[in-house]
């Protein structure tokens, strides 16, 4: 639990392509924050541009829907420099995404002071602390279910940490 922060006004959730993990996390996070009574702007993006403009992966949509999350209207986009200025907190789904985000942020530092804080999505989660949210893209149904379980757990952990602030 390296990053202790009071409730941010905006959170960006980031994976590689923004078609599996981060759009799922966006909707889960949005719903859990609303249930907790927190007013947080939530969005998602990818570190790569390979799926920009695409809807979330159909398997992600199907599994999310079976858990009560609708992600079919989300559209993949790539992380931009402006995201570091417009969000308080950027959460990476895995260590590689976090490293890519750190490199982007370091390029901006010096010219700008007030940039988003970065953290691993599982950082506050006592169950998955420090673990990557595995990319289910090349996996099977169980992999997509595991992603939802991990995202629900870690999103709730962040929200609980802010409520305790």
Which residues are known to be catalytic? 15, 21, 135
Closest CA to 3 of 105, 81, 89, 110: 89
- Contacts for 98 with CB less than 8 Å, ≥ 6 apart: 92, 118, 119, 120
Q: 82: closest CA among 102, 104, 110?
A: 104
In the sheet that holds 10-15, the strands lie side by side as 41-46, 10-15, 89-92, 117-120
Q: Which of 3, 7, 1, 11 is nearest to 116 (CA)?
A: 11
């Amino acid at each position: 639990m390296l990053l202790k922060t009071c409730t941010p006004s905006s959170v960006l959730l980031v994976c590689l392509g923004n078609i599996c993990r981060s759009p799922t996390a966006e909707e889960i996070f949005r719903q859990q924050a609303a249930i907790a009574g927190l007013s947080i702007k939530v969005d998602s993006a990818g570190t790569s541009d390979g799926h920009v403009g695409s809807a979330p992966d159909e398997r992600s949509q199907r599994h999310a829907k079976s858990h009560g999350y609708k992600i079919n209207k989300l559209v993949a986009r790539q992380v931009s420099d402006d995201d570091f200025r417009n969000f308080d907190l950027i959460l990476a789904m895995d260590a590689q995404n976090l490293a890519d985000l750190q490199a982007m942020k370091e390029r901006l530092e010096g010219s700008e002071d007030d940039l988003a804080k970065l953290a691993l999505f599982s950082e506050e989660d006592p169950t998955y602390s420090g673990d990557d949210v595995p990319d289910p893209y090349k996996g099977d149904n169980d992999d997509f279910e595991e992603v939802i379980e991990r995202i629900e757990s870690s999103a709730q952990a962040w929200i609980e940490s802010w409520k305790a602030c």
